Amino acid sequence: MSNREDSSSNPDPHAADNAGNGGQNSGMPAIVSRLFLYALKDVLAARYGPAEAVDVIREGGRLAGRRFAKNVLDLTGALDYFVNNTQNTLMKMKLGALRMEKVEEGCLEFTMTVKKDPEYCGLPITEAESGCYDEGFLSGVLEAYAGKKYRVRQVDCWENGERTCRFEAKLE
């Protein structure tokens, strides 16, 4: 992580309130930002190939997750407090309902689900992997809390007919 990244993100205790309700305060509905992400991924894939597009989007998600965690979440508490704070903040901001299914505290491995805002569900089902941003975002949040790098991968997705998006997180 570069110093520039740290210096560009000053913690704001009211950032969750100022960040908006799933983009509503900013005037951009969640579906618009999701369509932007899909379009950007398509452009990157056409230019650099599908694998590189996934890597770039995932890394962008990781950076966003770290910045989100440092600016919006309280990273000072024990793991159960951190999880509760993250769940409440994501719900308040209408970004999704996070639920921890399995927590291996000794090795800091997690299985978690995220039930997304119904606004996202109006998007067409695609064959392309679309959870790469979310994988990066969740890994960035976990990294900001634990101070260790995580590999998060989506194992179930509502776009493929599952009831929720499920992710597994492991230390790299």
Hey, what domains does the chain have and what are their CATH numbers?
A: 13-171 (3.30.1380.20)
| Beta carbons of 89 and 73 less than 8 angstroms apart | yes
Residues comprising the chain, all counted: 172
DSSP string of 121-134, one letter each residue: GGSPP-SS--THHH
Residue 50 pLDDT greater than 90, yes or no: yes
Q: What is the mean pLDDT of residues 50-54?
A: 94
Of 134, 120, 164, nearest in space to 30 by CA: 120
pTM exceeds 0.85 for this model: no
Q: Which residues is 109 bridged to in the sheet?
A: 104
2 confidence band (pLDDT: 50, 70, 90): very low
DSSP 8-state code for residue 124: P
- 32 pLDDT above the threshold of 90: no
